[in-house]
Chains A and B, each alone.
Chain A
Amino acid sequence: MGALVEIRNLSKVYERGKERIEVLHHVNLDIEQGGFVALMGPSGSGKTTLLNLIGGLDSPSEGTLSVAGRRIERLGEDALARWRASNVGFVFQFYNLLPMLTAQKNVELPLLLTRLSAAQRKRKATIALQLVGLGNRAQHKPSELSGGQQQRVAIARALVSDPTLLVCDEPTGDLDRQSATDILTLLQQLNRDHGKTIVMVTHDPKAAEYASHTLHLDKGSLVETPELAHA
């Protein structure tokens, strides 16, 4: 399989007043279509920054970033938003569900940006919830669900628009061991059975074991060679 994500000479610099902080330093990386990559490294190593760049949440200071052949560093804010809507699913450490909406409505959120009818949106959200094993919790609000269940809803929301790429930022960081195992098994299943390319940031070596490849970042640079990320 070819590379879904191609990163060349990627740098990210933040400027806080007069201070200039280089968070990523000339990173080169290929992530193959259908790969499951774990990004590890100490705090401040640039893991989340790299993940945000891959997911199109932030723009690089230097270098190129292609996803499925699209140079996303060239996209404007609105174009990038539309690209995210149809190409990337996001899973966060703290789930980031909207508390006033039911699980069903949370999962439907990305579909509001499509031309689907209300009935079609509902059907797709139901299928996504069933896929993560929460078909019977559709009408529950996040506060009525456990942490593991909330993260499953978040995964269903990430999947519902059928994106190629899932980016997960510490998806098990707020969960107990059993729930974490369940979530990681689910991600693995999505990778293996549904062909989703997954990039996951984690501190947990056990979580990284579920990925097909593990990359280490330190002080903004990749410690291991990019080739390791190839499936």
Chain B
Amino acid sequence: MKYLSLVWAALFRRKTRTFFTLLSVLAAFLLFGLLDSVRTAFAVASNSVAAADRLITVSKISFTLSLPKSLYTRIQTEPGVADVTYANWFGGIYQDPKNFFPSMAVADNYFDLHPEWQLPGEQRKAFHDMRTGAVVGASLAEKYHWKIGDKIPLQATMFPQKDRSNVWTFDLVGIYHVDDPNLRGQESNFFINWDYFDEARSLGNGTVGWYVVKLADRNRADQVAGEIDALSGDSDHETKTQSEQAFTAALMGQFADVGLIVGAIMGAVFFTLVLLTGNTMAQAVRERIPELAVLKTLGFTNRTVLALVLSESVLLLVLGGAVGLGIAGLIVDAVRTSLPAMGPTAPMVPVGVAIWLQGLGLMILVGLIVGALPAVRGMRLRIVDALSGR
């Protein structure tokens, strides 16, 4: 710590140059914070969202194709299946096309298989009793200021009613909550009754989008999945049954390989950062060779000089990086507040301890890399040569 004032003074010897270098470090770590937040959100979505004892059965050709409702009872009687439910994509929009959120028609027992969605008993009963009833997540209700008893008109994008009307009006009877902050993105769903939906829609009647199967024994997942798929073997509606985790990962993969994209962007950013700050540090140390020689004259050892230059470089990265990550955190919070109902899960996770630790590790690593050559040069300089300007 006693060297901090010396390191600090050396860092800000050329204020303008240091300021612009700090800005570039700040920008790199701002980008890192934002992109890592997105990457983590996708990773969370495809990992922790899934329950280990649930399977998803969809059409083998594409999960956008429907399956016959008649499969329901057949799956239900399969050994190893504890319970089955089903759902269909509804795809409604509220007032304006930009107000789009996941809306699904679900079977009566859909909430039984998703205990992470907490819906009070009386609201559950109201959903069951009222054909036009709807249940929404708390985040979605908060965003549009909906309260129980409201009539909510949704414009159908895929399923017009039998009378050709595109407007479906639902009665809000329940609001569910999710406690796990990692799953908070699931509070953006809008659920309607499948029975009412199937009765009123003008096409696709008697079909469902996917089945959700609860396993009696999670260790038999592969066997049960195979048996379920065998039910539709050689039919025109062959199925693909997989764990909810695998299904979610595949769904996320439809968007893009976020990890690869983020990795590629950050690789380019940090490569540029290493060149830029490396050049700055090399220049800064080159200018200070006589000063480093003075320090060595006064008795600073080679290792102390090495440590001083490396500390300066790491301090540069940590200062700029911490401010960048801090701003990234504020931006992510602002985005999450303004877009609570975006996508199947929240598009970003908060810039938390894990991202900070990862960022701090990167700051130190980049600092050591860019400081290494100048530090070694400072360490190796011969006092008499440096003082005489050789």
Contact = CB atoms under 8 A, between A and B. Distances in A.
B130 interface: no
B302 A78 contact: yes
B296 interface: yes
A108 to B, nearest CB: 9
Contact of A84 (B3, B13, B299): B299
A98 B291 contact: yes
B9 A105 contact: yes
Given A78-B303, A110-B299, A96 B294 contact: yes
Interface in B1-19: 2-3, 5-6, 9-10, 12-13
A85 B383 contact: no
Interface of A (DSSP majority class): helix
Interface in B261-316: 290-291, 294-304
What interface size band does chain A fall in? Answer: 20 to 34
B299 A86 contact: yes
Interface of B (DSSP majority class): helix
Interface in A40-83: 48, 52, 55, 57-58, 77-78, 81-83
A110 B298 contact: yes
Contacts of B302: 77-78, 81
Contact of B384 (A57, A85, A96): A57
Given A58-B383, A58-B384, A112-B6, A99 B300 contact: no
A112 B2 contact: yes
What interface size band does chain B fall in? Answer: 20 to 34
Contacts of A109: 6, 295, 298
Nearest to B383: A57
Contact of B301 (A57, A82, A100, A105): A82
A90 interface: yes
Given A82-B299, A105-B5, A99 B13 contact: yes
B383 A118 contact: no
A84 B297 contact: yes
A96 B290 contact: yes
B18 to A, nearest CB: 11
Among A99, A105, A112, chain B packs the most CB atoms within 10 A around the CB of A112
A145 interface: no
Given A52-B383, A85-B300, A100-B10, 16 more contacts: A57-B297, A57-B383, A77-B301, A78-B302, A78-B303, A82-B299, A84-B299, A86-B299, A90-B298, A96-B290, A98-B9, A98-B291, A98-B294, A109-B298, A112-B3, A113-B304
18 contacts: A48-B388, A52-B384, A55-B297, A57-B383, A77-B302, A78-B303, A81-B300, A81-B301, A82-B299, A83-B299, A84-B298, A84-B299, A85-B300, A96-B290, A98-B291, A100-B12, A100-B13, A105-B9
7 pairs of A and B residues whose beta carbons are closest in the complex:
A85-B299, A100-B9, A100-B13, A81-B301, A96-B294, A84-B299, A78-B301
